Amino acid sequence: MAERLLTVEGLSTHFFTHAGVVKAVNGVSFTLDRKETLGIVGESGSGKTVAALSLMRLIPDPPGKVVEGSLMLGGRDLRTLSDEEMRQVRGNDIAMIFQDPMTSLNPVLKVGRQIAEAITLHQDKKKAEAWEMAAALLDRVGIPDARKRVDQYPFEFSGGMRQRAMIAMAISCNPDILIADEPTTALDVTIQAQIIDVIEEMQQRYESGVILITHDLGVVAEVADKVMVMYGGRTVEYGGIDEIFYNPHHPYTWGLLGSLPRLDQTEKTRLTPIKGQPPDLITLPSGCPFVGRCLYERPECRDQWPALEIVGPEHGVHCWIPEAERREIRATLPHFQEYVA
Amino acid sequence: MSERSTSGDIGAADLVAGAGGEVAMAGDRLAGTKPLGLWADTWRRLRRNHLAVVGLGIIVVFLAVGMTQEVANLAGVSTGERGAGYLAPYDPNAVNYELSPKGLGSPPSWSHPFGTDYLGRDVFSRTLVATRISMLVGVIAVSIALLIGLILGPISGYYGGWVDAVIMRTADIFFAFPYILFVLLIMTVLGPGLWNVFIAIGILSWASYARLTRGSVLSVKAMEYIEAARAQGASDLRIIFRHVLPNTMAPVYVAIAMGVGGAIVTEAALSFLGIGIQPPNASWGKMISDYLSYLQVGSWWMLSFPSVFLVVTVFGFISFGNGLRDATDPKLKE
């Protein structure tokens, strides 16, 4: 049994705005073990990033607030830590890689200085020592000529190299948990694969747990051990990578997978997009947030959020449709034909 | 597939090279022209602006003159008769009635290039010594204003909320008062004297720097690298002064250049009104005020030289400030 790093239970984060309460995250639970990669997928506005920022306690307050839940890191609940203790957690225990490498580095500071600063914040190191470490880290994430590169400014780096530098900064204090918030979205497709490789390599080396937030199911399929599918601020389904891709139970997961092109698709078929728009997070229905877009909606869906149904080892789903019926419906979908047999 | 095959072996080589692809590209750029840093680039564009270069020249000359006087002053060199070792050839405060027949001074001559004033004092020496005062006012008053403004402005913008409201409404109060009247008020409270002039002007100009930086901070604090710094566990103060402030400085440099000119004018105005520099010490404003009445009786030299010095200096600072603004404006980049 691997070491459990993080246990999140019933996390709810709401934003109290003039227009009303935006319920960005509602009762999300997940765990993360050492050396494990959790993929959080969902479309824009599904609460992926807010969930991650809640972990770091980086939700701007006001208007945002973690209203419920426990965030256990080791033996400590992150919600009860003081601001000062939380600052020690950030970067040291939990580090984050951001989406856009072009804007996540301070343009007026040398790259080496920014990494060295992250080091001196948490470790008792002299400036020169930290600088040496920064050069070594840049080298480790695959930046050639790192000794010269530490002395350069971000504008002298390409996008892929900046993301590498961001990774170097994130791993500089050997964090237990690495949160990567859409780390490849802003990059070229060719660079994306390299960056994912670097993240995986660093995970192996530092034995961290990785939370990978993305809407790219391809990336998830490649690196994640388990997946959490979010919609409208709720977890609709979670499970091991194979379970989610080959035995999905929630209509939303079907929709996500059905809207992806497949390499083994022989006949000419159109991709099936999920019709409609994501829900307004202020006026969420009390039931399942997917109502209105779900093709298999039932009367009870609107009023009550279905309880967690365990459908396999480490595989759970929130859906009112009975399991047998779900399997029948899935068997009719073109995307899942071959699994039925 | 067809696209790939047209690019042929180049594409394949790229794919094989893997990590090499992006690196090679960046490497080419390095091998070619090295991109200029912010200051090198600014300087390159500033140099093309002749007016700004003239302004910079004026600033350098006057600062040098001011500093020479200051050093001499600190070293305790007494200004004796003729050539005491630094720029002013005579004691600027030495009264010599022989040089002021009929109390109207004497016109410029070889021994007194700017003439002498109604007390027979050498106008050239006085003007040079006054340069020190003006430069001191410009530098120190603006430093005081910057010290206050660059602390309160970023804090105001970064924290927002009631902190912002309190600081910015205070700034509004400072803007709302008629400037000279407010300086007069402070000077009356503090009493006349050189340091009080610095303090009064400094206290009065902080608001514009605070407002300027607050505005920039508002835009910078939404940048992702600020959130990245926070995710590293950086403290608020570190974020404000290490990550936010340096990214908001470009407009401030321009404001400094302009502000020094403004402070010099304000000191001149205060001295003209009689609450700045106290006699017998000289400042340009004090000299203008003292010598104004002698213009009517034909002693033009007393008034002309300090006035010209004042105008030229302020012109220097303002044209340099203008040039600096143009040079740092990315929209004007070619």
Q: What's residue B286's pLDDT?
A: 81
The one-character DSSP state at A188 is -
Q: How many CB pairs under 8 A join A and B?
A: 88
Q: For chain B, which residues lie within 8 Å of any Cβ of chain A, measuring from their own Cβ?
A: 14-15, 18-19, 21-23, 25-27, 29-30, 35, 37-38, 223-225, 227-235, 242-243, 246-247
Contact A220, A214 (CB under 8 A): yes
Report d(CA A198, CA B179) in Å as an integer.
Answer: 60
Q: What's residue B36's pLDDT?
A: 60
Q: What's residue B165's pLDDT?
A: 92
**Higher-scoring residue by pLDDT: B119, B333:** B119
Residue A254: both structure tokens together = 């079907």
Give yes or no for residue B299 having a pLDDT over 70. Answer: yes
Interacting residues of A129 by C-beta distance below 8 A, sequence separation 6+: none
Taking CB atoms and an 8 Å limit, are B228 and A191 in contact across chains?
Answer: no
Distances (CA, A) of A54 to A139, B49, B230: 32, 51, 13
| Nearest-Cα residue of chain B relative to residue A91 | B232
pLDDT by residue (tens digit) across B55-90?
888 888 888 887 777 777 666 655 444 444 456 667
pLDDT band per the 50, 70, 90 thresholds, residue B2? very low
| Nearest-Cα residue of chain A relative to residue B25 | A158
Taking CB atoms and an 8 Å limit, are B232 and A117 in contact across chains?
Answer: yes
pLDDT band per the 50, 70, 90 thresholds, residue B15? very low
As a whole number, the mean pLDDT across chain B is 76
**Higher-scoring residue by pLDDT: B298, A159:** A159
A72 beta partners: A7, A77
pLDDT band per the 50, 70, 90 thresholds, residue B100? low
Q: What's residue A71's pLDDT?
A: 87
pLDDT by residue (tens digit) across B215-256?
888 888 888 888 888 888 888 888 888 888 888 887 888 888
The angle at the Cα of B180, spanning B174 to B186, to the nearest 5 degrees, equals 70
The one-character DSSP state at A335 is G
Chain A residues with CB-CB distance to B37 below 8 A: 153
pLDDT band per the 50, 70, 90 thresholds, residue B148? very high
ipTM over 0.90: no
Q: Describe the strand order of the beta sheet including A76-77 as a list of residue ranges.
A: A20-33, A4-17, A64-73, A76-77
Alpha helices by DSSP H, listed for A272-322, are 299-303
Report d(CA A65, CA A54) in Å as an integer.
Answer: 8
Q: For chain B, how far is it from start to end, CA to CA, in angstroms?
A: 41
Distances (CA, A) of A68 to A28, A38, A316, B208: 10, 22, 21, 44
- Interface mutation vs chain B, best among A108, A151, A157, most B CBs within 10 Å: A108
Interacting residues of A296 by C-beta distance below 8 A, sequence separation 6+: A251, A321, A329
| Nearest-Cα residue of chain A relative to residue B29 | A156
Residues in chain A predicted with pLDDT less than 70, given as ranges, are 1, 263-269, 336-341
Q: What's residue B25's pLDDT?
A: 43
3-state secondary structure of A264: coil
3-state secondary structure of A86: helix
Average pLDDT estimate for B99-112 = 72
pLDDT by residue (tens digit) across B276-289?
777 777 788 888 88
**% of chain B exceeding 70 in pLDDT:** 77
Q: What's residue B168's pLDDT?
A: 92
Interacting residues of A14 by C-beta distance below 8 A, sequence separation 6+: A21, A22, A23, A24, A25, A64, A65, A67
Using CB atoms, pick whichever of A87, A105, A155 lies closest to residue B233: A87
Q: Where are the domains of chain A?
A: 4-224, 229-340
Taking CB atoms and an 8 Å limit, are B233 and A89 in contact across chains?
Answer: yes
Find the radius of gyration of the CA atoms of chain A: 21
pLDDT band per the 50, 70, 90 thresholds, residue B166? very high
pLDDT band per the 50, 70, 90 thresholds, residue B329? low
Q: What's residue B169's pLDDT?
A: 93
Taking CB atoms and an 8 Å limit, are B232 and A90 in contact across chains?
Answer: yes
pLDDT band per the 50, 70, 90 thresholds, residue B29? very low
Long-range contact set of residues A54-58: C-beta below 8 Å, sequence gap at least 24: A54/A11, A54/A13, A54/A25, A55/A6, A55/A8, A55/A94, A55/A177, A55/A179, A55/A211, A56/A90, A56/A94, A56/A96, A56/A179, A56/B231, A57/A81, A57/A86, A57/A90, A58/A90, A58/B227, A58/B230, A58/B231
The domains found in chain B, sorted by start residue, are 2-35 (no CATH), 41-332 (1.10.3720.10)
**% of chain B exceeding 90 in pLDDT:** 6
Residue type, A118: A
What CATH topology corresponds to A4-224?
Rossmann fold (3.40.50)
Q: Are strands A20-33 and A209-214 parallel, antiparallel or unpaired?
A: unpaired
Average pLDDT estimate for B37-46 = 75
Give yes or no for residue B102 having a pLDDT over 80. Answer: no
Report d(CA A42, CA A28) in Å as an integer.
Answer: 13
